[in-house]
Amino acid sequence: MKTLIANWKMNVGIRESVALARGTLLTLRGRKLIPELVICPSTIALSEVRKVVARSSVSLGAQNVFWESKGPYTGEISTRMLQEVGVSYVILGHSERRQELHETDEMIHKKVLYVLSEQMTPILCIGESKQQREAGQTQEVIRAQLISALSQVYVRGSERVLIAYEPVWAIGSGEASSVGEVIEIHQYIRSFLQELFPGVSSQQLPILYGGSVDGENAYGFLREEMIDGLLIGGASIKINQFNDIVEAAGEVLEAQGT
């Protein structure tokens, strides 16, 4: 299986989100093999987008959540509130939140635990900055982020935790990481996850790549067995680009006979 996650970030309001959701559904029409598809609109657009995707195979994700079910947390949103509008996935630890909102590893850890306890699926973002990469610290940084976010986490039954490797320097830069480099990091993450979660299948811990994915480079990533899917920002709000990415995923699934 291949998973595509569309992170619309803070780019589109309610009306545009509804149109985009309709367009996204059209990209699936007539295809025999379709990837697992999760769209993550802004919080305010979730309930309208839900109406569009309600009877489709598309799942809804949120871009953030708080770690308590209710209480005096002005401006925050809980898992229960998200569930009310049909959300089942939550992006956590995105580098934009780590940087702009100073989200710490500890906060991300609390969110991962909370989301899992509420039977939702976390999409945990990890990745190194340009400086860390240049200093040769990529593996060290990723390892530390995984340890901190996933300590005391148990993946039971059919639960899943999606890991999105998003090198910070590749996000929104138009400069995607090379396929070779992504494979190398994914191999590292995979073996570390096997250490952290012995006996848990890799299908329950898919590893996705994100960072300047577009209609042209998507196939190159998706055809690799080590890359379970893509987390897409900018190209997910350009319907032609996104259509090409869905098409690339379909071709890969067909070639794999899955």
Residues forming contacts to ligand 13P in the complex (CB under 6 A) are 7, 94, 166, 171-172, 210-213, 231-235
**Residue 88 belongs to what H/E stretch?**
strand 87-92
Annotated catalytic residue: which of 103, 109, 166, 186?
166
| Closer CB to ligand 13P, 121 or 197, in the complex | 121
Q: Which residue has the tokens 């893509």?
A: 230
| Closer CB to ligand 13P, 69 or 99, in the complex | 99
The span from the CA of 99 to the CA of 4, in Å, is 24
**Least separation in angstroms between CB 197 and ligand 13P:** 23
Question: Which residues, in sequence order, are CB contacts of 137 under 8 Å at separation 6+?
Answer: 128
| Closer CB to ligand 13P, 57 or 173, in the complex | 173
**Least separation in angstroms between CB 169 and ligand 13P:** 10
Report how far apart, in Å, the C-alpha atoms of 64 and of each of 11, 133, 152 are.
15, 26, 21
Residue 166 known to be catalytic: yes
**Is the sign of the CA dihedral 46, 48, 51, 52 positive or negative?**
negative
Annotated catalytic residue: which of 36, 94, 184, 186?
94
Residue 186 known to be catalytic: no
For the beta carbon of residue 61, count every other beta carbon within 10 angstroms.
Answer: 24
Report how far apart, in Å, the C-alpha atoms of 223 and of each of 1, 33, 86 are.
11, 14, 31
Specify whether the CB–CB gap between 69 and 36 falls below 8 A.
no
| Closer CB to ligand 13P, 8 or 66, in the complex | 8
The span from the CA of 182 to the CA of 16, in Å, is 32
Q: What is the DSSP letter of 128?
A: -
Q: Which residue has the tokens 């860390």?
A: 132
**Least separation in angstroms between CB 213 and ligand 13P:** 5
| Closer CB to ligand 13P, 132 or 200, in the complex | 132
Give me the helices (H) in the chain, please: 14-28, 46-53, 79-84, 95-100, 105-117, 130-134, 138-150, 179-196, 218-222, 239-256
**Least separation in angstroms between CB 171 and ligand 13P:** 4
Give the nearest residue (CB) to ligand 13P: 233
**Least separation in angstroms between CB 206 and ligand 13P:** 15
| Closer CB to ligand 13P, 222 or 232, in the complex | 232
**Least separation in angstroms between CB 214 and ligand 13P:** 8
- The residues annotated as belonging to the active site are 94, 166
